[in-house]
Structure 1
Amino acid sequence: MAENPFLSTDFDIRWSAHTPDLIEPAIQQALTDAQATIDGIAALPLEEVNYANTFLALEESTEILNLAWGKVSHLQSVADEPALREAQNKMLPEVSTFFARIPLNPALWERLRAYAESDAGQAHTGIHRRFIDETVADFRQAGADLPDAQRQRLEEIQSELAQLTQKYSENVLDATNAWQLLVDDVSRLAGIPQHARDTARRSAESKGLGSPEKPVWRFTLHHPSLEPVMVYAEDAELRRQMWEGSVAVGSAEPHDNRPLVPKILALRHEEAQLLGQPHFADHVLARRMAGNGRQALDFIVDLQTKAADAFAQENAELEAFKAAQTGEPQGRLKAWEVSYWAEKLRRERYAFDDESLRPYFPMNRVIDGLFELSSRIFGLVIKARPAGEVEVWHDEVKAYTIHDRDGRHLGSFYADWHPRESKRGGAWMGYLITGGPQPDGSRKPHLGYILGNMTPPADGKPALLTHREVETVFHEFGHLLHHLLGEVEIKSLNGVNVAWDFVELPSQIMENWCWERESLDLFARHHETGEPIPEDMFQKMVAARNFRSACATTRQVQFAKMDLLLHTNTEAYLADAATLEQRITADVADTMVPTEPAGRPILYRFGHLFSDPTGYAAGYYSYKWAEVLDADAFGRFKEEGIFNPDTGADFVRHILSKGNSEDPAALFRAFRGRDPDVNALLERCGLRASA
């Protein structure tokens, strides 16, 4: 009988063979085999336990299950359809329960602890010492020391959370896909860039709407469709309709997340209290760089305070600018006017328009430039695999290999950059296979992917990106390098499996090269003439970089503050679940641009917080913390040369290759020579004068 493709460890994955009907038998088999291995460890006589038959055996026990379930989850993210969703949802409770039970298995824990506390266990050093310590800490944090009844309740909580957060994610995707705005009057499109108009017309045609004689333009809530309208459309009513559609995602039937959020918060709070923590934030952050919820919230509030005066000034400036332009009395802007008038103010102040950069960022050149930059800095050789050599899940997907200069195959990856209705929104990186150093001294390659929802190609022209989209491509590639360059022999400690508030450093540091003249010249070339960005345009772009930076900073503070408040004061918010949104809105109101009507927090469409049992919950602050790390770390490149291969080699040596093999604070110090300095971020944002 042929092997189930979901269980196959083949490096070149046959995606066409991964059909929904094979998911249940594959996952059932993987669960059975993994459980058998764990049962074997748990049945070992205590006097026979050793490193190989406990810790290493546990590490290997879930390898096939992780691979198979990773394929299922990945396909649901990029090729969602009813049969696939049904198959995933059927197996999700079993998978979640299985993983929740591992640290709650008393016999397994007894044997791991027995070896960890033995003389042999205590004698380990280096990565093996780290692995033992991290595993023991994982088990204790997950409730291994709890009595039976509480352990059973934790299993139930994890299963419930997996199902609720999956439903939350599906609601966001389905609500986004269900909404559309059709325009049949071309005059309503005034101000909207031509590329966005063309995309909207093709979108309508794909739905059988309109004709050459009577065209229709179809706008959706996917970012490449939404943003041009909110920033450029002169028709205020069009902007209002788009804004109202956007803020309603997840908060209306039949895709309503309002009843799910209190349930998710309550279960997380119960989990934390079962584990002896006052709230979920302290539970989650105990082993992260922040340490606890209070310190994370203090960091965020401190950032808010430092940006507060500039935030107020920027809002007042925008109100005054609109009044001067319209002749109306100065007052609060409408919620759907902020982006529109901010762009007009930026154009007037800097004579600069983001759209003017698009012709210089064709996707193919951006990718080629990113690869050339990676070659210069990190010594990598990246090549596209010939079409047809390896299967992909959609014809837009491309496959690549990464080698070092010595010819070692470090890893391979897939890239899938444009939106589809079957694909969830946003941009993300993930991995399918973890290779790395092997016991025999060889090294196996890693396999990962990067995905996004960037502006698609149009009318025979290449995909022309915004500068922010270019930053996103670089960002996700940084995550990918963290996985593919990993040199950690313990797979669960490789790559992005690091403290959550450290994981964004490799990704966010890559965005810095999108702002340097020397690196931009590698790829920012006009798609028709090949000319680089003109110097006067570059200078305007740099000058405009920190336009409304206090608002941008405070927006991220808003998300992080909301997250931490919900997960530190959960009981207070749940005392009256019906008013949860109103109360959290009031508590973060000082971080929201004052508008009329007031904006709404993204509580019911906040996938980072609620689309995973944990995810970024109590950890959204890590984006700003990682900005501190990346601004400071990039300072070394600025000092030594942004293409300095020795500095790049050090970044690989101390950060990209290390995964979770050492404490992240120690890894940062090894690269930078000291602890991170928050002033590096403030200076980059223009919120603090440089020394």
Structure 2
Amino acid sequence: MNLNNNPLLQEFSTVLDTAPFSKIREIHFEPAILKGIEIAREEIDQITNNAETPNFENTIVALDSSGETLGRITSIFFNLNNAETNDNIQEIARKVSPKLSAFGNDIVLNEQLFKRVKEVYEQKDSLELTAEQKTLLDKQYKRFSRNGANLSEYEKEKLRKIDEELSQLTLQFGENVLAATNAFEMHIADKDLLAGLPDSALEAAADAARSKNKDGYLFTLDYPSYIPFMTYADNRELRKKMSLAFSSKAYKDEFDNQENVLRIANLRHERAQLLGYDSHAHFILEERMAKSPQMVTDFLSDILEKAKPAAEKEFAELTAFAKNHADKNNVTLNRLEKWDAAYYAEKLKQEKFDLDDEKLKPYFKLENVIDGVFEIAKRLYGLTFEKTEEIEKYHPDVITYIVKNEDGSLNSVFYGDFFPRKGKRNGAWMTSFKGQWHEEGKNIRPHVSNVCNFTKPTSTRPSLLTFNEVTTLFHEFGHALHGMLADTQYRGLSGTSVSWDFVELPSQVLENWCYEKEALELFAHHYETGELIPQEYIEKIKAAANFNEGLQTLRQLSFGMLDMSWHGQDPSEIQDVKAYERKTFDKTDLYPDIDGTCMSTSFGHIFQGGYSAGYYSYKWAEVLDADAFELFKEKGIFNRETADKFRENVLSKGGTEDPMLLYTRFRGSEPKIDALLKRAGLVA
């Protein structure tokens, strides 16, 4: 192929230098990535072979600036591999991932390059550097020292092989989970079997069946299909069928991930040991706010001690309610199973608070919620969002916006991709197609994306969100704001390039606005009548906010503990993935275990995403966000002075300084766990 005709290797002659999706074909990716590696390698060689004495500009800044072409291409490719993949794209990913991993190792294991970096690093006390420059220097030095620069040639070769295999295994893990998710369908022809399901869920299932040329109703393991079924379907056997399918993804089936899990865990441990660390968790946590596995374990155990009594009380209440409810309906319920959890919890919540998602959904039309979160961003940070058709999209569902600052200048480009489809992995995430940095006096602005899997509109109604989906949208948009409001000199420190146990603060703090009357009034209007959400519903949302909080906390803690269990010690003796997982869950699980199910084999956050030895960060960030939001509550949730302070010290600063320093500069003191426990209703 003529590389001169490859759009990924040309200047993007598009609106605001956005990705030219209409011109990009699958055949462009592999040659563009290989050329991108070649260009980046030349840039690294220029730094390494520079005859001038190493200094901050010609070595540290030059390293930060290198690889721009490659980064631009790979961000487009891997974002599509998550949001719009197919067999061809997955095959390309399998081919290029080892090459990218090898190139990454070529950099950090380059002895001459490390020598230059080390020479600058050893002069750091005599250099007049800003706080941001000191952080960049420290980060660049550790990029080498923590990843094998001091190893022998034999050890370096060993590290290369480990990293190459890991890049393949994590890809395969994710492909297996997606394939297992797509492989399951439950086709129901008899509507009588679907009693309890709301009209919206039935209509979506009917649309799904029609799309496959089937009559009746089709249910899948995608969240907008799975969650309503498990929450509302009266038929316990069908709930069980769905639950077992969901909980056994990539476990003992044709997409089995057991060997991948064991191999990934062992390779990570081997890698950490090679680099001089006790475990993968020790390696990861050295650069996090929580500095050690012991600190994480103590943190999770502390919350477990306070949450478990509340969870046991809630479980007993739910069990009694479920048995009583089942008796009234002539159903025998000997014990509460996992496929009963959401169903009876919803019934109990309705009884206690007279509140259910079907009552709320008409007030949460997707477009209105989007407008609402945009208005909140305007009131807090002066941002405005202009919908545009001029920016190219990778799928017709995607919505594009040009984001402006208060003075009318460009802030960023924003992509919103909200509905499930076959080529998109489950869940919700923020990503970017282009970062932010300063170059030659210009502030290069980012291209940010939110990808979600919300209920699709049907032929008769728009996309109406559950309240949980509303908080998910706000969560991911909080991450987007972290990217949009980035304002750092260097790209390697910009936006969400922060400690993983700090990155969830901007996302989780924004969820708090979903519970506030002043914020809800901006967007919670009935999609047919325009009526504002009734005050009594707002009060019920707030009252129900802590419903089963003990059980929810135990669930989050169990995931964090499972992560630390896989990554905080030597896994070489583990033979049975399920049996090992079970030992960890015994501390937190109040429901009976189910044969044939396993979470680890589909735990994408830790075996495919970037959360290995970092899942605890969700809970860690809850402490930060509860503490931070107390200040907003005290001053007013739209208080501009507080918002400016949060923007200046957290959102715009990226990873330029120690996160605890940034947080205390905003808040005036270090965070306290009390705010979280109080908000969760776990202490008086």
Q: Tell me which of 568, 572, 575 is aligned to 2:573.
A: 575
Q: 2:9 aligns with which of 7, 10, 27?
A: 7
1:466 — aligned with what?
A: 466
SS of structure 1 residue aligned to 2:638 = coil
Q: Distance in 2 between matches of 1:477 and 1:518?
A: 19
Q: Secondary structure at the match of 1:256?
A: coil
Aligned equivalent of 1:113: 118
Alpha carbons of structure 1 residues 545 and 513: separation in structure 2 relative to 1, 3 Å? same
For residues 167-246 of structure 1, the aligned pairs below 5 Å read 167-210=172-215, 216-246=216-246
**How much has 1:274 moved relative to structure 2?**
0.7
Distance 1:660 1:576, change over 3 A: closer
SS at match of 1:337: helix
Equivalence for 1:338: 341
Q: Which segments of 5 or more consecutive residues in structure 1 lack a partner in the other structure?
A: 211-215
CA shift, 1:461, in A, is 2.0
Instruction: Say if 1:6 and 1:88 are closer, same or farther in 2 by CA, change over 3 A.
Output: farther
1:414 matched residue in structure 2: 415
Partner of 1:399: 400
How far, CA to CA, are the matches of 1:576 and 1:510 in structure 2? 40
| Deviation of the 1:119 alpha carbon | 6.7
Report the Cα distance in structure 2 between the residues aligned to 1:473 and 1:500, rounded to whole angstroms. Answer: 20
Q: Quick check: 1:304 aligned with 2:308? A: no
Bigger shift: 590-599 or 31-40? Answer: 590-599
Distance 1:241 1:397 in 2: 33
CA contact (8 A) 2:209 2:217 kept: yes
Distance in 2 between the 1:521 and 1:664 partners?
A: 34
What is the identity percentage for the equivalent residue pairs of Structure 1 and Structure 2?
39
Question: SS where residue 402 of structure 2 aligns?
Answer: strand
Per the TM alignment, residue 496 of structure 1 is displaced from its structure 2 partner at its CA by: 0.3
From 16, 23, 42, give the equivalent of 2:29: 23
3-state SS, counterpart of residue 182 of structure 1: strand
More displaced, 119-128 or 77-86?
119-128
Residues 56-107 of structure 1: CA deviation (Å, up to 9, x unaligned): 2211221111111111101111221222222222111101111123111111
Aligned-residue offset at 1:118: 3.2
Q: Cα offset for 1:161?
A: 0.6
Query: What is the correspondence of 1:362-381 to structure 2 with a 5 Å cutoff?
Result: 362-381=365-384
Residues 576 and 482 of structure 1: is their aligned pair in 2 closer, same or farther, counting only changes over 3 Å? closer
Quick check: 265-274 or 99-108, which moved more? 99-108
What residue identity is the alignment partner of 2:386? Answer: K
After the TM superposition, which residues 55-94 of structure 1 pair with which residues of structure 2 at under 5 Å, given as runs? Answer: 55-94=60-99
Q: Is the 8 A contact 1:320 1:330 kept in 2?
A: no
Aligned to 1:643: 638
Letter in 1 for 2:428: A
1:596 Cα shift?
Answer: 6.2
Per the alignment, residue 424 of structure 1 pairs with: 425
Q: Give the distance between the partners of 1:538 and 1:125, measured in 2 at CA.
A: 47
SS at match of 2:258: coil
Aligned with 1:122 (options 116, 124, 127): 127
Amino acid paired to 2:384: V
What is the rounded CA distance, in whole Å, between the counterparts of 2:574 and 2:513 in structure 1?
47
Q: Distance in 1 between matches of 2:564 and 2:187?
A: 39
TM-aligned CA distance change 1:146 to 1:218, over 3 Å: same
The alpha-carbon deviation at position 8 of structure 1 amounts to 4.0
Residue equivalent to 2:275:
275
How much does 1:173 deviate? 0.5
Structure 2 gap ranges (5+): none
| 2:591 paired with 1:588 | no
Corresponding letter in the other structure for 2:184: W
Q: CA deviation at 1:653?
A: 0.5
Give the secondary structure class of the aligned counterpart of 2:404: strand
- If the length of structure 2 is used for normalisation, what is the TM-score? 0.96
TM-score, scaled to structure 1: 0.95
Are 1:135 and 2:140 counterparts? Answer: yes
- The alpha-carbon distance between structure 1 residues 78 and 329, as it changes in their structure 2 partners (threshold 3 A), is closer
> Among 617, 624, 628, which residue is 2:623 paired with?
628
Question: Is contact 1:379–1:645 with CA below 8 Å preserved after alignment?
Answer: no
* 1:304 Cα deviation from its structure 2 partner: 0.7
AA aligned opposite 1:87: I
Displacement of 1:15 after TM fit?
Answer: 0.5
**2:558–2:584 Cα contact (<8 Å) kept:** no
Matched residue, 1:33: 39
Contact 1:427–1:452, Cα closer than 8 Å, also in 2: yes
Once the two structures are TM-superposed, the CA of residue 205 in structure 1 deviates from its matched residue by: 0.6
Cα distance per residue 1:461-502 (max 9 Å; x no partner): 221001111111111111111111111010010000000100
SS at match of 2:187: strand
Which residue of structure 1 aligns with residue 658 of structure 2? 663
Describe how 1:541-552 pairs up with structure 2 within 5 A.
541-552=541-552
Alignment of 1:237-256 (within 5 A): 237-256=237-256
- 1:408-436 deviations in Å (ceiling 9; x for gaps): 21111111000001111111111111233
Distance in structure 1 (CA, Å) of the matches to 2:11 and 2:174: 28
- How is 1:482-631 mapped onto 2 (pairs within 5 angstroms)? 482-571=482-571, 574-577=572-575, 579-595=576-592, 597=594, 600-612=597-609, 615-631=610-626
State the shift of 1:593 in Å: 2.8
Instruction: Tell me how far apart the structure 2 counterparts of residues 532 and 323 of structure 1 sit (CA, whole Å).
Output: 37
C-alpha separation between the residues in 2 aligned to 1:338 and 1:482?
A: 35
Native 8 Å contact 2:281 2:292 kept in 1? yes
Alpha carbons of structure 1 residues 334 and 60: separation in structure 2 relative to 1, 3 Å:
same
- Equivalence for 1:359: 362
- Asked if 2 retains the 8 angstrom alpha-carbon contact of 1:410 and 1:444, the reply is no
Equivalent residues of 1:333, 1:596 under 8 A apart:
no
**Could you tell me whether the CA contact under 8 Å between 2:124 and 2:134 is conserved in 1?**
no
- Please state if 1:348 is matched with 2:363: no
Is the counterpart of residue 157 in structure 1 residue 159 in structure 2? no
The 3-state SS of whatever aligns with 1:332 is coil
Alpha-carbon distance in structure 2 between the residues aligned to 1:679 and 1:299: 13
Question: Partners of 1:397 and 1:342 in 2: how far apart?
Answer: 34
**Residues of 2 paired with 1:119 and 1:382: CA distance?**
42
Deviation at 1:555, TM superposition (A): 0.2
In 2, Cα distance between equivalents of 1:5 and 1:314? 57
How many pairs are equivalent? Answer: 675
Contact 1:592–1:599 at 8 Å: present in 2 too?
no
* Matching residue's letter, 1:491: R
- SS where residue 443 of structure 1 aligns? strand
Q: Does the aligned pair in 2 maintain the 1:434–1:491 contact within 8 Å?
A: yes
- Looking at structure 2, the residues matched to 145 and 593 of structure 1 have their Cα atoms a distance apart, in angstroms, of 47
Contact 1:116 1:122 in 2 (8 A): no
**Secondary structure of the corresponding residue to residue 131 of structure 1:** helix
CA–CA separation in structure 2 for the residues paired with 1:184 and 1:161:
44
Q: Tell me if the contact between 2:248 and 2:598 (Cα under 8 Å) persists in the aligned partners.
A: no
1:330 deviates by 7.9
Please give the root-mean-square deviation of Cα atoms over the aligned residues, in Å: 1.6
Aligned partners of 1:660 and 1:3: how far apart in 2? Answer: 37
The structure-2 alpha-carbon separation of the partners of 1:162 and 1:535, relative to structure 1 and needing over 3 Å to count, comes to: same
State whether residues 436 and 445 of structure 1, in contact with CA within 8 Å, keep that contact through their aligned partners in structure 2.
Answer: yes
Shift of 1:600: 4.6
Per the TM alignment, residue 7 of structure 1 is displaced from its structure 2 partner at its CA by 2.9
The alpha carbon displacement at 1:677 in A equals: 0.7
**Partner deviation per Cα, 1:26-81 (whole Å, 9 max, x = no partner):** 11111111111212222234x62222221122112211111111111011112212
Task: Return closer, same or farther for 1:439/1:589 CA change in 2, 3 Å cut-off.
Answer: same
**Higher mean C-alpha displacement, 277-286 vs 399-408:** 399-408
1:681, distance to aligned residue in structure 2 (A): 0.7
Consecutive aligned runs of 4 or more in structure 1 exceeding 6 Å deviation: none
Indicate the residue corresponding to 2:453 in structure 1: 453
The answer for the alignment partner of 1:213 in structure 2 is none
Q: CA deviation at 1:599?
A: 9.3
Residue 338 of structure 1: CA displacement?
1.4
